[in-house]
A and B are shown apart, each in its own frame.
Chain A
């Protein structure tokens, strides 16, 4: 058992008090490794909450720099960070919240060539990417590497999320199959998004990571949770692992990782 310092006991007291987390759960968090893909709208709140929770090793992947238009929703980045690498900006805030945490930064654009190497060894992946090709790539890599992950997407006032336990529960491709045609996709810049919606969704994703690590509760698997912040209507859509899934079904046609042309949100 870890010998918690007095400061750690105080810092994690609200976790230790929870029957479903407790001392054992906090130990698991301190030993866990979670990687967040995208240090933006979803990745920011996820990164801050995971750091605060004492997740021992947190990886964060993003190739972009902070721009003023990010600040309306990407709460890990401050005005003074404009021009800085997003991964460095996020890492600084995570360390400032909790020096117990080791942050590993990957200032790279995820692609078929590097994703296995980057994700391998992590216990859980949070997808906070901004485009469909990368979302499908993260799904495929997690299925191949057998790493549970949280899918997340936001648009305008809406959010959606599901948790995937590869081999056991529906994957993203079970329901969504392949990226939509690029010309049909409204670009993030054109569509807009309510800043707090990013926080709502990224925070749900962080909670899923914490639940997976501690074993508390039930994961959001085989379920797509969607919400519309205009009415605050939340809906759970039952999903199931599909026999016809081209990736995780019994007759897969996708057997290796491949890049799909990056098309969405390339203009900031």
Chain B
């Protein structure tokens, strides 16, 4: 069913390391309404290990998290 979810805002954070990937995620959320969905592309390794965890801690909801063919991750988050 994941194909049914569309991101309202999309950010490609490929090549963006920690913590700037989280900074940019927070800036994206600041411009969004509650309930809207943010789509992110995150690198494998520390980014995928850290960004979703921080986002959950701030109360947002991870809807899906899927590794792509190039090793990066596609993550969909609903803003709290």
Please determine whether chains A and B interact with each other in the same assembly. yes
Segment from B21-29, B62-70, B71-79 that makes contact with A: B21-29
Is A13 positioned at the interface, with any CB of B under 8 Å from its CB? Answer: yes
Note all chain A residues with C-beta closer than 8 A to B56: none
Note all chain A residues with C-beta closer than 8 A to B29: 23
* Interface size of A in residues (CB-CB distance below 8 Å): 11
Q: Using an 8 Å CB-CB cutoff, how does the interface string of B36-80 with A read, 1 for contact, 0 for none?
A: 000000000000000000000110000000000000000000000
Note all chain B residues with C-beta closer than 8 A to A1: 30-31
Q: What is the number of contacts between chain A and chain B, taking CB atoms within 8 Å?
A: 28
Note all chain B residues with C-beta closer than 8 A to A261: none
B31 to nearest A CB, angstroms? 6
Is B20 positioned at the interface, with any CB of A under 8 Å from its CB? Answer: yes
Is B19 positioned at the interface, with any CB of A under 8 Å from its CB? Answer: yes
Is A229 positioned at the interface, with any CB of B under 8 Å from its CB? Answer: no
Interface pair B26/A17, CB less than 8 Å apart: yes
A116 to nearest B CB, angstroms? 37
B10 to nearest A CB, angstroms? 18
How far is B29's CA from A10's CA once the two chains are assembled, in angstroms? Answer: 17
Note all chain B residues with C-beta closer than 8 A to A10: 20, 23
Interface pair A9/B22, CB less than 8 Å apart: no
Interface pair A16/B23, CB less than 8 Å apart: yes
Interface residues of A (CB under 8 A from B): 1, 4, 9-10, 13, 16-17, 19, 22-24
A-B contact sample (19 more), CB < 8 A, given A17-B22, A24-B30: A1-B31, A4-B27, A9-B20, A9-B23, A9-B24, A10-B20, A10-B23, A13-B19, A13-B20, A13-B23, A16-B26, A16-B27, A17-B19, A17-B23, A17-B26, A19-B58, A22-B26, A23-B26, A23-B29
